[in-house]
């Protein structure tokens, strides 16, 4: 039997070692009384820290899977095999074979098990995330993504609402929230509104729909394009970062709904206007005949989802990938 450590796993090295030893014991592959390598020897073979293996052994002892005898070593505890594990293993083997026959790669299957499946099995649905953004469409998209990908309970609040009514914090908007997911351009503002250091925040980068980027690429050089968001700061930060790959020598004009009377003058200068969320409805009302107004939808990418999951579970990704043969 071998222990495999995967550097792409969302499980820590200690957790990978623990789970695999426990699986071998429960399946009966490790017989009662079997001596395990010392923490030092296993750590050397796996190229990991000795304390990591020692901690894994110690937790398995406390859970009743191993016996540690001073001066003798660590042994599989008697009467710990569970016959039903064989049936569970057969179910997963069958599912794995079907997935492979359906065209899924090994890495895709592992990714599914370590993200979506693990998320459900580890009661991720009981975890609550608050999404803070400047437009409801972005909030809805992010919440939907987190609910589908991670199985968490996600709700949102507009940063404008927090700005105008800071008491929303004391009214329970953060009640039982495990994590705040905040657009990167709103993190500092959220911190000013809610300076409580105990609140865990993850700043994420939202990205424009790829169709918008391609729309920008097709525009001739010199075209005046207006980018409108809930406020000036958000417009400059979000649009500049999320649409930069569509740069084609355009003349960009940033504008926020907070520009007041200046907004109409800025809009009049533009041939094409891209707006998101609440800004889109306002821009449509103010736009002139012949001006092209494009609604922008944004969301977070896979790397942001992975970051959120890691922060929720407090799991580190390790860079070591090793194997040890135990039998």
All domains of the chain in start order, with CATH: 2-82 (1.10.10.10), 84-121 (no CATH), 126-207 (3.40.50.790), 210-296 (3.40.50.980)
Q: Are 117 and 305 in contact (CB under 8 A)?
A: no
Q: Are 11 and 315 in contact (CB under 8 A)?
A: yes
pLDDT of 125: 44
pLDDT of 105: 86
Q: Are strands 206-208 and 298-300 parallel, antiparallel or unpaired?
A: antiparallel
Q: What is the pLDDT along the chain (327 residues), one digit of tens a residue?
A: 578 777 556 567 888 898 889 888 877 778 888 999 999 999 888 888 888 899 999 999 988 899 999 888 999 986 655 555 667 777 888 888 898 888 888 877 877 776 555 555 544 446 789 999 887 878 888 998 888 777 788 999 988 889 888 788 777 788 778 899 998 878 888 998 888 877 889 998 877 667 777 888 888 999 999 988 877 777 776 666 555 555 568 888 888 888 877 888 889 999 999 887 778 888 888 888 889 998 877 778 777 887 888 788 653 333 334 566 665
Q: What residues does 223 pair with on adjacent strands?
A: none
Q: Are strands 35-36 and 73-76 parallel, antiparallel or unpaired?
A: antiparallel
225 vs 254: CA distance, rounded Å: 9
pLDDT of 37: 92
Q: What residues does 60 pair with on adjacent strands?
A: none
Residue whose entry in the numeric block shows the structure tokens 């799991």: 315
262 vs 264: CA distance, rounded Å: 6
């Amino acid at each position: 039997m071998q222990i495999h450590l995967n550097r792409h796993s969302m499980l820590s090295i200690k957790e990978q070692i623990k789970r695999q030893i426990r699986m071998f014991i429960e399946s009966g592959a490790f017989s009662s009384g079997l001596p395990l390598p010392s923490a030092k020897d296993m750590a050397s073979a796996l190229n990991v820290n000795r304390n990591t293996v020692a901690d894994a052994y110690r937790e398995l002892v406390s859970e009743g899977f191993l016996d540690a005898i001073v001066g003798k070593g660590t042994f599989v505890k008697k009467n710990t095999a569970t016959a039903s594990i064989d049936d569970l293993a057969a179910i997963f083997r069958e599912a794995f074979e079907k997935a492979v026959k359906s065209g899924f790669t090994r890495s895709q299957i592992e990714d599914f098990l370590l993200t979506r499946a693990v998320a459900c099995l580890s009661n991720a649905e009981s975890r609550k995330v608050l999404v803070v953004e400047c437009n409801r469409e972005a909030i809805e998209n992010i919440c939907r993504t987190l609910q589908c990908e991670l199985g968490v309970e996600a709700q949102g609040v507009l940063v404008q609402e927090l700005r105008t009514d800071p008491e929303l914090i004391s009214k329970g908007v953060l009640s039982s929230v495990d994590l705040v997911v905040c657009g990167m351009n709103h993190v500092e503002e959220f911190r000013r509104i809610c300076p409580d250091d105990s609140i865990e925040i993850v700043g994420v980068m939202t990205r424009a729909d790829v169709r918008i980027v391609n729309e920008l690429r097709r525009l001739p050089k010199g075209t005046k394009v207006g980018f409108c968001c809930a406020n000036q700061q958000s417009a400059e930060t979000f649009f500049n970062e999320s649409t930069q790959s569509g740069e084609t020598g355009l003349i960009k004009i940033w504008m926020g709904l907070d520009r007041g009377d200046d907004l109409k003058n800025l809009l009049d200068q533009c041939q094409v206007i891209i707006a998101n969320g609440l800004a889109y409805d306002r821009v449509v009302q103010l736009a002139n005949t012949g001006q092209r107004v494009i609604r922008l939808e944004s969301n977070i990418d896979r790397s942001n989802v992975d970051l959120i999951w890691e922060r929720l579970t407090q799991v580190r990704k390790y860079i070591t990938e090793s194997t040890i043969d135990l039998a």
